[in-house]
């Protein structure tokens, strides 16, 4: 990947340049001027709700897999592909998705994702066989895979680098509304109207949010990260290849998180029932509580990162805290439920609030150049899907030993490797100087005042 991107981040001191793809469609949705702050946030929130609805589409059948499998006469193993096909398509489409985004344009790429999610929904509703239903889910998964790549890559283009903490802190919560909506709506709709009603709701949501992105998504003529890089030295200077390599390292270290957190989401409800004695409903709430705790954590830590400009330090702290909670109380086998809920909140607020937010906020600051940033963030999207596959081994280890042994031999070592690698990553504090108004083009200065 580094070889592919060689030369992509070599920068010059010419005037800021507009970023265009290979095809004319890349110009669609590109503003002729810098965006106002209001336009940026309208674009952000329309993307956020669209992405959250894609997450809902992914998770909505999870709690009724066996019921849908029975309708189409699937075995339990085959029914598992209703969910697994999303992970597979996301893994395959990560780097092709980045190429599509860069060459056909961001707005066209989002429209492609929307058409895939809508057409997959329609096909699922009319499916008369298990094979056709899984094909429909694969089409939906392609749309999800695209938005998983496009969403984070838009943010450094849309907002100045010194605001990436807050922006990525909020964006990192895009999964939470989808998780909550799936957990609350699926049992109610299925009980009242059957499984097709869930897909009808998803179809309505996808159509409405597609209209929102068509209206509000637009890109500045010169992306913010390109404007800051090209406009002069302004205190930050030109990052060396070591900084770009560090950005890629941060992205691939995210594999530790994307393996550790899915083990919690997948196995903790069962652990809570079998080891801690919780009933089924209470156990199912454990993952939801962690997801809700992530929201204030991500936003608060994002704001703090923008103020102190120590994203690397905060990221390392997040991984260290993850090691601590996984090695001690989270999987310890204790039947103290108060301690269990405290560790769940700790995981959500501190670990999930720090690691995803700081990873996404640090990469654009280190890479600087839009193309290098795109590839590094795409690496995060790739390992996100890869981690979901690797997480299954946690259950294999736990079945033969114990949950605590699995945590100590599987989760903790992965996070320890991430911490060691991150200690050698370049620090963003010196690179990310305070914004220099004179280093910005006049159009960008004007938008900052808006």
How many domains is the chain partitioned into structurally? Answer: 2
Q: Rounded CA gap, 98 and 106, in Å?
A: 10
pTM to 2 decimal places: 0.82
| All residues at 6 or more sequence positions from 177 whose CB lies less than 8 Å from its CB, including other chains | 49, 52, 55, 56
Q: Are 152 and 173 in contact (CB under 8 A)?
A: no
295 lies in the same domain as 260: yes
200 lies in the same domain as 244: no
Question: Which pair of structure tokens corresponds to residue 299?
Answer: 């936003």
Could you please report the per-residue DSSP string of 375-415? HHHHHHHHHHHHHHHHTHHHHHHHHHS-HHHHIIIIIHHHH
207 lies in the same domain as 268: no
Q: Are 255 and 383 in contact (CB under 8 A)?
A: yes
Q: What are phi and psi of 425, to 5 degrees?
A: -75, 145
- Expressed as residue numbers, the domain containing 342 is 237-430
Q: Rounded CA gap, 151 and 197, in Å?
A: 28
Q: Is 276 strand, coil or helix?
A: coil
102 lies in the same domain as 225: yes
Counting every residue written for the chain, the total comes to 450
Specify the pLDDT at position 30: 82
Q: What is the separation of C-alpha 156 from the centre of its chain, rounded to a whole number of angstroms? A: 14
Print pLDDT tens along the chain (450 aa): 334 344 443 434 344 444 556 667 667 778 888 899 999 999 999 999 999 999 999 989 888 888 899 999 988 778 888 888 888 888 888 889 989 998 888 999 999 999 999 999 999 999 999 999 999 999 999 999 999 999 999 999 999 988 999 999 999 999 889 888 988 898 889 999 999 999 999 999 999 999 999 999 999 888 887 766 554 444 444 557 889 999 999 999 999 999 999 899 888 988 998 898 888 778 878 988 998 999 999 999 999 999 999 999 999 999 999 999 999 999 998 889 999 999 999 999 999 999 999 999 999 999 888 889 999 999 999 998 898 888 888 988 998 899 999 999 999 999 999 999 999 999 887 665 444 443 333 333 443 333
> Could you tell me the end-to-end alpha-carbon distance of the chain, in angstroms, rounded to an integer?
38
Q: Rounded CA gap, 8 and 370, in Å?
A: 9
Q: What is the CATH number of the domain that holds 360?
A: 1.20.1250.20
Specify the pLDDT at position 10: 40
Specify the pLDDT at position 161: 87
418 lies in the same domain as 324: yes
- Would you say residue 86 lies in a domain? yes
Longest dimension (CA), the chain: 66
Q: What is the mean pLDDT of the chain?
A: 86
Question: Which pair of structure tokens corresponds to residue 289?
Answer: 């509580």
Q: Rounded CA gap, 440 and 436, in Å?
A: 7
- Whether the CA torsion 262, 263, 266, 271 is positive or negative: it is negative
241 lies in the same domain as 225: no
263 lies in the same domain as 365: yes
- Would you say residue 4 lies in a domain? no
Q: Is 280 strand, coil or helix?
A: helix
Identify the CA nearest to 255 among candidates 428, 375, 417: 417
Identify the CA nearest to 6 among candidates 350, 346, 245: 245
Packing angle, helices 130-158 and 81-104, rounded to 10: 40
414 lies in the same domain as 368: yes
- Whether the CA torsion 23, 42, 48, 162 is positive or negative: it is positive
- Would you say residue 255 lies in a domain? yes
- Would you say residue 18 lies in a domain? no
Span 280-335, pLDDT tens digits: 778 878 988 998 999 999 999 999 999 999 999 999 999 999 999 999 999 998 88
- Would you say residue 15 lies in a domain? no
* CB-CB neighbours of 36 under 10 Å: 15
169 lies in the same domain as 251: no
| All residues at 6 or more sequence positions from 274 whose CB lies less than 8 Å from its CB, including other chains | none
CA angle 54, 100, 163 (to 5 degrees): 65
- Would you say residue 245 lies in a domain? yes
255 lies in the same domain as 209: no
Span 174-230, pLDDT tens digits: 988 988 898 889 888 999 999 999 999 999 999 999 999 999 999 988 888 776 655
184 lies in the same domain as 296: no
Helix segments in 194-279, DSSP class H: 195-216, 224-230, 241-274
């Amino acid at each position: 990947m580094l070889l592919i991107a060689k030369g992509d981040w070599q920068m010059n001191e010419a005037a800021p340049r507009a970023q265009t793809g290979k095809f004319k469609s890349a110009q669609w949705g590109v503003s002729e001027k810098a965006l106002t702050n209001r336009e940026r946030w309208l674009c952000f929130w329309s993307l956020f709700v669209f992405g959250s609805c894609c997450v809902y589409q992914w998770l909505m059948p999870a709690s009724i897999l066996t019921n849908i499998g029975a309708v189409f006469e699937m075995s339990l193993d085959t029914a598992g592909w209703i969910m697994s096909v999303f992970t597979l398509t996301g893994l395959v489409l990560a780097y092709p998705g980045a190429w599509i985004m860069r060459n056909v344009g961001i707005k066209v790429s989002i429209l492609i994702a929307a058409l895939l999610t809508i057409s997959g929904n329609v096909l699922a509703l009319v499916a008369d066989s298990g094979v056709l239903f899984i094909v429909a889910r694969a089409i939906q998964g392609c749309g999800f895979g695209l938005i998983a790549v496009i969403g984070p890559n838009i943010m450094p283009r849309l907002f100045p680098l010194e605001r990436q903490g807050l922006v990525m802190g909020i964006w990192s919560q895009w999964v939470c509304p989808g998780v909550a909506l799936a957990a609350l709506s699926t049992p109610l709709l299925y009980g009242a109207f059957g499984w097709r009603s869930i897909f009808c709701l998803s179809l309505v949501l996808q159509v409405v949010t597609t209209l929102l992105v068509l209206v509000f998504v637009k890109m500045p003529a010169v992306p913010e990260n390109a404007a800051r890089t090209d406009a002069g030295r302004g205190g930050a200077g030109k990052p060396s290849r070591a900084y770009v390599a560090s950005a890629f390292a941060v992205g691939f270290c995210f594999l530790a998180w994307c393996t550790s957190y899915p083990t919690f989401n997948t196995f903790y409800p069962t652990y809570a029932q079998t080891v801690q004695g919780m009933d089924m409903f209470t156990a199912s709430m454990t993952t939801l509580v962690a997801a809700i705790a992530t929201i204030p954590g991500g936003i608060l830590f994002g704001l703090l990162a923008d103020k102190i400009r120590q994203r690397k330090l905060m990221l390392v702290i997040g991984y260290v805290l993850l090691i601590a909670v996984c090695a001690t109380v989270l999987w310890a086998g204790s039947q103290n439920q108060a301690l269990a809920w405290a560790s769940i909140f700790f995981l959500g607020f501190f670990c999930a609030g720090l690691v995803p937010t700081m990873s996404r906020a640090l990469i654009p600051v280190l890479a600087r150049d839009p193309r290098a940033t795109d590839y590094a963030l795409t690496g995060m999207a790739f390992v996100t899907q890869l981690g979901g596959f690797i997480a299954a081994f946690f259950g294999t280890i736990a079945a033969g030993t114990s949950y605590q042994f699995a945590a100590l031999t599987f989760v903790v070592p992965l996070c320890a490797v991430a911490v060691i690698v991150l200690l050698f990553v370049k620090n963003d504090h010196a690179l990310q100087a305070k914004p220099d108004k004179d280093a910005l083009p006049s159009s960008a200065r004007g938008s900052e005042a808006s």
